[in-house]
Amino acid sequence: MADYISARRLGFVTITQMIAALVEAVQRPPTKIRTLTVADIRRAG
């Protein structure tokens, strides 16, 4: 349980969340530079 809490605190995301964020970025490319936060990546996945 402590590892999970530490991972959340550090902002780690799951592979599924990262892939979903990458797919969304490819499907909806930005017109300018777009920076995704950890919260953005978690919402995507």
- pTM more than 0.85: no
Q: List per-residue pLDDT tens for the chain, 45 residues long.
A: 556 566 666 777 889 988 998 998 899 888 898 888 888 888 887
Residues in the chain: 45
Structural domain boundaries, residue 32: 2-44
Confidence (pLDDT) at 37: 85
- Pull the structure tokens for residue 40: 């953005």
Q: Locate tokens 């892939």: which residue?
A: 19
For the chain, the domain total comes to 1
CB of 45 closer than 8 Å to CB of 20: yes
3-state secondary structure of 19: helix
